[in-house]
Structure 1
Amino acid sequence: MDVSMCVHAYATSCVCTCVHVCKHIYQVGSLFAARFEQVAFSFNGGKDSTVLLHLLRAGYYLHKGKSECFQGNLSDSMLNCPIRTIYFESPSAFPEINAFTYETATAYNLQLETIRSDFKSGLEALLKEKPTKAIFLGTRIGDPNAVGQEQFSPSSIGWPPFMRVNPILDWSYRDVWAFILICKVKYCSLYDQGYTSIGSIYDTVPNALLSIVDSSSTTEIFKPAYMLSDGRSERAGRTKKLPLKCDTACLNNGMTNVSQSGSFIASIIVVGDEILFGTAEDKLSAVLCKKLNAIGWQVTRMIVVQNDIDCVAAQVEQQKSTNDMVFLLGGLGPMHSDVSLAGVAKAFGVRLAPDEEFEEYLRLLIGKHCTGDRNEMALLPEGITELMQHSKLPVPLIKCQNVIILAATNVSELETQWDCLLETPSHPLMRLPPFMSKHLGTMLSDVETAQTISKLCLEFPDIYIGCQRKSRVGPLVITFVGKDKTRIDLAAEKLSNSFPAGAFSEADCG
């Protein structure tokens, strides 16, 4: 099969998928029994929302019985879709994004409703003024805000109630560009300049993987975004992101994105075949999670990976672009299985290089024997490594941009390294109000308590309410987590008062 046949085959598959998605899109009306005016579309000028715009246009006319709109090239149809369109305009947005958004709104007669305040309050005001049952989003599974979402996902705790509809959730980077190129729809000009994932002017640069070597040019030149061969590197152009910058540029709401509620998010990666084989138990990540919660940070991931460079690199690459900080445990030392630093280097696209300062620390620690191993241990990711020194530590902690590598092998060492980390002058962990928790135990069944707890979640959107049972015959433990003790106590009291006296009691979840 030649290239043209491959393109044709993929194009046919893409259009069939689009037809299915378009038909699926307008089933939402019957699900909510809502008028068309109670459905909205969040458009941000990016490639994903551009695809969704044209799917919505096509779907609208399929819904109206005009399936002939799909005959030929979709972009040739200038028929409009009268859907309410929400645009969150930010002062840190690229001018090209703003221009493309307003040009597109004019071209397709979109009912554009621009919000210039912060996302949460702006959305609350908008939905209060114009009741909205569902909002279509161009979220895809690889996006940071896609965690835990499905094609239909209710808004998160703490945000106004609406249904998030994600028609292209399962689309790949390749799918998006195949649709855009095959259907010949207009897109933001930044994508032709090497940008593959566009955020704000402060955290986005052209993707280095698209750079063109041209000795005759005084400026760096990039290939267009659709030339990126590996969609997994889509967010590689987000390297300018500051580790402690709260990013509120998405509609993923509530506890699943605690940056929007005044906190920072972190992930923990543990490297260890012995844990995956069941011959050792991971105790360090649980301790580290509690340490982070105690300074107001929310942990979004605790991941165990193999002692394999590619496995480590893949997780570091994904987590460093979606979290404010990443902590790496295990895989450090002179053994063949100690691949953590090599994995970090690969994730950042740099080489391992000798670090004379770190080698001197190792020389004082190890001595003059084991010279070869000592030198190998002194190889650190080049150009991105910062050594965080403390008088209580035999060797400094290693920080590579927003990735911190902890060398602890037991809980005691971890606690020491954590304390030293917080005491270093340049430590990157801002202290915030800590997360607090309260636990109630009951012998009531899950069925007896489920409805009351669900209602309580709606009444206390600022409190995380979780349930667990350690054994089939043991008590059901309800956990309340938040940053406001008064609210936690009130939520726990309301739960207790909803059942006969004595049904709930304080429980120890330690």
Structure 2
Amino acid sequence: MEIDKAIQESHDQSLKTKYNNAIYVIQRALALYPIEEVAFSFNGGKDSTVLLHLLRAGYYLHSVKCGQSNGDVSNHSSAFPIRTIYFESPSAFTEINSFTYETASNYGVQLDIIRQDFKSGLEALLKTKPTRAIFLGVRFGDPTAVGQEQFSPSSPGWPPFMRVNPILDWSYRDVWAFLLTCKVQYCSLYDQGYTSIGSVNDTTPNALLSDNNSTGENKKFKPAYMLTDGRLERAGRAKKSFHQHDVSNGLKSAESHRNRVLTASIVCVGDEFLSGSFNDKLGRSLCKKLRSIGWTVSNIAIVQRDVDSVADEVEKQKAINDMVFVYGGVGPLHSDVSTAGVAKALCVRLVPNEDFKERLLHLYGEKGSGDVIKMAQLPEGVTELIQHEKLHVPLIKCENVIILTATNVDELDQQWCSLKSSNLLELTESFVTKHITTSLSDVEVAQPLSKICSKFPDIYIGCYRQSRSGPLTITLEGKDDKMVEAAMEAVSRTLSSC
């Protein structure tokens, strides 16, 4: 087998060790699961290209070990025996698609092509073709690697299968050492300065590989394998920009700045809240504080202490809100996964932050150094520490996500004062709120209030009862006090005529 021969003849002892460990994981998986119930997720990138050739070598060596082959390469089937999944995306580079199909043709790979999102496509595929294990080209530096081991069951809410990660402990340097040592073809984009490839919408050549002798449209880049610091392989991934925007939810922004409405989402992390064993007071307090500066809270979510649950919620909310606040699940415990979830949502990895580490060591002392090292792992390249004299440790800001370390209302008060003084939160005109009560039934006021809502689209009009037999309280809220007053008079006139 040419791959195994190239590695064994190499003088790179570190690469040999990584190769042998990966082959062991592959052979272990092939011994545990029938070949018909194993799949391989291939995306044309450098990591999955490495895994493709490791699987070719691993399957060959497994066959020899089991007596299914005598070791004669000439008699070994050229068809790749493991079912291969390819998620084809309209936003993929044409070079990636071309390389994928060319590679499949060269090595006899039968592709199951899926044109849906990963989760939906996987669910549909596994219904028709039962699969117990899937080989993935995940490495520790990847955002999706958080919490994974070489054999890791799929996350809650996903189809059940075993994730097999043979190159989980490989570095950027290991990947390129393998590709160059084995002299296998890889996607041409890597020779054009791309070091980590996503979609055409979020991927550019890595500026660290820029050729200083070229400029403008003729700008050239060195090959990806010339990047000396593998920690910067994702430097070519564009980050989502943070745009403040208006909303239309009954509190619509007017043209003037004073009527501007900014939205926030609150994500509470903790199984104790979901089980009902602990009362969440921080969420309520944070809502009041945000309302006091003219912000509206669009959503409060309580999620499990699970990296994927946190990441899914943060990714969804950060795209549609001006700011996302995350609390709970922050600390040194095994269940403290909030920071890792935020990193995954932002598609970055966790790396040590020396400034944060020093502050934590000053607070907890050397006895807690092991826990401090874990807590000091923060999202790479997107983290800003908010320092303040009232805080024992800085606040953590990652793009438009604020990670709060508060565990009680008093601590939240301190962190809120620090946030306000740091000018991170834009102060807008406060809401004007008025209330009116009536003994009329819900049925009697439903149609009249509906008409008033249509006449005052910029005013939020809501209703609630403290008890089933108590009076109905009608709340009117907006940023234009004259408009709120006019709506209030309209409601009063309407109710008096009912």
TM-score, with structure 2 as normaliser: 0.54
Matches of 1:85 and 1:43, distance apart in 2: 7
Aligned partner (choices 252, 257, 266) of residue 342 of structure 2: 266
- Specify whether residues 255 and 400 from structure 1 end up closer, same or farther in structure 2 by C-alpha distance, changes over 3 A only: closer
Matches of 1:213 and 1:184, distance apart in 2: 28
8 A contact 2:80–2:108 mirrored in 1: yes
8 A contact 1:193–1:222 mirrored in 2: yes
Amino acid at match of 1:210: L
What residue ranges of structure 1 are gaps of 5+ in the alignment? Answer: 1-6, 72-76, 245-251, 281-300, 306-314, 321-325, 341-396, 426-510
Partner of 1:82: 81
Matches of 1:203 and 1:260, distance apart in 2: 19
- The superposition leaves residues 418-440 of structure 1 with CA deviations (integer Å, 9 ceiling, x where unpaired) of 57755558xxxxxxxxxxxxxxx
Matches of 1:400 and 1:19, distance apart in 2: 38
Q: How does 1:34-53 map to 2 (within 5 A)?
A: 34-53=33-52
8 A contact 1:204–1:241 mirrored in 2: no
Q: How far did residue 154 of structure 1 move?
A: 0.2
- Specify whether residues 113 and 266 from structure 1 end up closer, same or farther in structure 2 by C-alpha distance, changes over 3 A only: same
Answering whether residue 56 of structure 2 is matched by residue 57 of structure 1, we say yes
8 A contact 1:272–1:331 mirrored in 2: no
Matches of 2:314 and 2:43, distance apart in 1: 18
8 A contact 2:80–2:110 mirrored in 1: no
8 A contact 1:254–1:261 mirrored in 2: no
SS at match of 1:271: helix
Matches of 2:124 and 2:215, distance apart in 1: 53
Amino acid at match of 2:312: V
Answering whether residue 351 of structure 2 is matched by residue 275 of structure 1, we say no
Q: How far did residue 15 of structure 1 move?
A: 4.0
- The superposition leaves residues 480-502 of structure 1 with CA deviations (integer Å, 9 ceiling, x where unpaired) of xxxxxxxxxxxxxxxxxxxxxxx
Q: How far did residue 113 of structure 1 move?
A: 0.6
- Specify whether residues 327 and 412 from structure 1 end up closer, same or farther in structure 2 by C-alpha distance, changes over 3 A only: farther
8 A contact 1:19–1:59 mirrored in 2: no
Answering whether residue 405 of structure 2 is matched by residue 329 of structure 1, we say no
- The superposition leaves residues 180-228 of structure 1 with CA deviations (integer Å, 9 ceiling, x where unpaired) of 0010000000000000011111111111111111157742111000000
Matches of 2:402 and 2:213, distance apart in 1: 36
- The superposition leaves residues 154-182 of structure 1 with CA deviations (integer Å, 9 ceiling, x where unpaired) of 00011000000000000111100000001
- Specify whether residues 117 and 216 from structure 1 end up closer, same or farther in structure 2 by C-alpha distance, changes over 3 A only: closer
Answering whether residue 311 of structure 2 is matched by residue 257 of structure 1, we say yes
Matches of 1:134 and 1:144, distance apart in 2: 21
Task: Between 170-179 and 104-113, report the one with greater CA deviation.
Answer: 104-113
- Specify whether residues 222 and 303 from structure 1 end up closer, same or farther in structure 2 by C-alpha distance, changes over 3 A only: same
Partner of 1:27: 28
- Specify whether residues 413 and 327 from structure 1 end up closer, same or farther in structure 2 by C-alpha distance, changes over 3 A only: farther
SS at match of 1:212: coil
Matches of 1:174 and 1:303, distance apart in 2: 25
8 A contact 2:310–2:342 mirrored in 1: no
Amino acid at match of 1:111: Q
The structure with more radius of gyration: 2
8 A contact 1:204–1:240 mirrored in 2: no
Amino acid at match of 1:266: V
Q: How far did residue 16 of structure 1 move?
A: 5.2
SS at match of 1:135: strand
TM-score, with structure 1 as normaliser: 0.53
8 A contact 1:271–1:331 mirrored in 2: no
Q: How far did residue 414 of structure 1 move?
A: 2.4
Answering whether residue 380 of structure 2 is matched by residue 318 of structure 1, we say yes
SS at match of 2:380: helix
Matches of 1:273 and 1:20, distance apart in 2: 36
Matches of 2:27 and 2:373, distance apart in 1: 38
Q: How far did residue 145 of structure 1 move?
A: 0.5
SS at match of 2:92: coil
What residue ranges of structure 2 are gaps of 5+ in the alignment? Answer: 1-7, 244-305, 319-340, 344-349, 366-371, 429-498
8 A contact 1:194–1:206 mirrored in 2: yes
Matches of 2:13 and 2:242, distance apart in 1: 43
Amino acid at match of 2:162: M
Q: How does 1:401-480 map to 2 (within 5 A)?
A: 411-416=412-417, 418=419, 421=424, 423=426
- Specify whether residues 405 and 144 from structure 1 end up closer, same or farther in structure 2 by C-alpha distance, changes over 3 A only: closer
- Specify whether residues 400 and 123 from structure 1 end up closer, same or farther in structure 2 by C-alpha distance, changes over 3 A only: closer
Matches of 2:72 and 2:207, distance apart in 1: 39
- The superposition leaves residues 396-446 of structure 1 with CA deviations (integer Å, 9 ceiling, x where unpaired) of x9989668799x997435224657755558xxxxxxxxxxxxxxxxxxxxx
Partner of 2:230: 231
Amino acid at match of 2:15: C
Amino acid at match of 2:149: E
8 A contact 1:93–1:200 mirrored in 2: yes
SS at match of 2:342: strand
Q: How far did residue 254 of structure 1 move?
A: 4.0
8 A contact 2:385–2:397 mirrored in 1: no
- Specify whether residues 146 and 10 from structure 1 end up closer, same or farther in structure 2 by C-alpha distance, changes over 3 A only: farther
